[in-house]
């Protein structure tokens, strides 16, 4: 997916061992309005909006709160969860079955759990500090964190809670994962390509700042190897309006 979206040529393997450093790339956001404006004044430098992407190695289910990549996740403005929606006997799914909707719910639960762990840790420290000295600011923080904890314990992401400007400022220092906008990218099988234009048939989110898109990585990788004039023909043959990159880049920018 990282290669498809960014035009990078990162080596892809079924199993990658020992890789710790993430892949980084900056991509321009497609904007027809900018193209029209630039066509009227081509002598001016074209400066599109950009999005920086960080590609991390796969994180096992149940390991988000302990992953060595947690710091990268916390620094990100938004998250993309790549979900497997295709069968491949040589690469078994960790859960032994292909169920994108279940994987989506599992990951959202993981983000919530990670935030709960962070809140519990901070509350423990606050309790110790408040026993030594009463501090109005720490009392206010404790009350706020208890409210967030109650929200998370109901299985609700922090992006869904209404916050005052003061609370927004306070919560920003924690970089909670479930508060970040989230895109679920479902990599479907070739036989399921019609779902690329209708991802809501796989998963339809009514949640705040969460969306789902579908793509067929195998076919798109093949199309990317073609010359530009040939791409349109192949996209049409597969019933695709466009490659997933423009849709994903636009969705990413809009959610941010």
82 phi/psi in degrees, rounded to 5: -90, 125
Q: How far apart are CA 13 and CA 7, in angstroms?
A: 17
Determine how β-strand 210-215 pairs with β-strand 182-188.
parallel
Closest CA to 35 of 27, 26, 44: 44
In terms of Cβ atoms closer than 10 Å to its own Cβ (0-12, 13-18, 19+), residue 144 is middle
Please list the residues that pair with 188 across neighbouring strands: 85
Q: How far apart are CA 144 and CA 153, in angstroms?
A: 14
- The token pair at 250 is 């636009």
Work out how many domains the chain is built from and give that number: 1
User: Would you give per-residue pLDDT tens digits along the chain (256 residues)?
Assistant: 778 877 777 766 544 545 567 888 887 776 656 566 666 666 666 677 788 888 887 776 666 666 677 888 899 999 999 999 998 877 778 788 889 999 999 999 999 999 999 999 999 999 999 999 989 999 999 999 999 999 999 999 999 999 999 898 888 889 999 999 999 999 999 999 999 988 888 888 878 899 999 999 999 988 888 888 888 888 888 888 888 888 888 888 888 8
Q: How far apart are CA 200 and CA 195, in angstroms?
A: 8
**pTM of the entire predicted model:** 0.84
- What residue numbers bound the domain in which 98 lies? 2-255
**Sign of the torsion formed by the C-alpha atoms of 21, 251, 115 and 135:** positive
Which H/E stretch holds residue 85? Answer: strand 79-85
């Amino acid at each position: 997916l990282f290669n498809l979206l960014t035009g990078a040529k990162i080596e892809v393997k079924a199993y990658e061992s020992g890789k710790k450093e993430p892949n980084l790339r900056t991509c321009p956001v497609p904007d027809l309005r900018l193209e029209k404006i630039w066509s009227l004044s081509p002598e001016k430098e074209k400066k599109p909006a950009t999005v920086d992407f960080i590609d991390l190695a796969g994180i096992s289910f149940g390991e988000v709160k302990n992953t060595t990549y947690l710091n990268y996740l916390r620094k990100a403005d938004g998250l993309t969860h790549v979900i497997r929606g295709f069968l491949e006997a040589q690469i078994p799914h960790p859960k032994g079955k292909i169920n994108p909707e279940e994987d989506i719910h599992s990951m959202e639960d993981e983000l919530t759990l990670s935030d709960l762990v962070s809140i519990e840790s901070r509350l423990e420290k606050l309790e110790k500090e408040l026993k030594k000295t009463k501090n109005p600011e720490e009392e206010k923080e404790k009350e706020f964190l208890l409210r967030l904890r109650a929200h998370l314990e109901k299985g609700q992401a922090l992006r869904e809670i209404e916050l005052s400007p003061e609370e927004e400022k306070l919560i920003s220092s924690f970089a909670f994962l479930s508060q970040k906008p989230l895109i679920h990218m479902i990599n479907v099988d070739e036989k399921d390509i019609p779902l690329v234009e209708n991802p809501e048939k796989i998963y339809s989110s009514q949640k705040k700042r969460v969306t789902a898109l579908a793509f067929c990585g195998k076919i798109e990788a093949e199309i990317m190897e073609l010359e530009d004039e040939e791409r349109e023909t192949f996209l049409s043959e597969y019933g695709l309006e466009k490659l997933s990159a423009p849709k994903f880049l636009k969705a990413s920018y809009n959610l941010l």
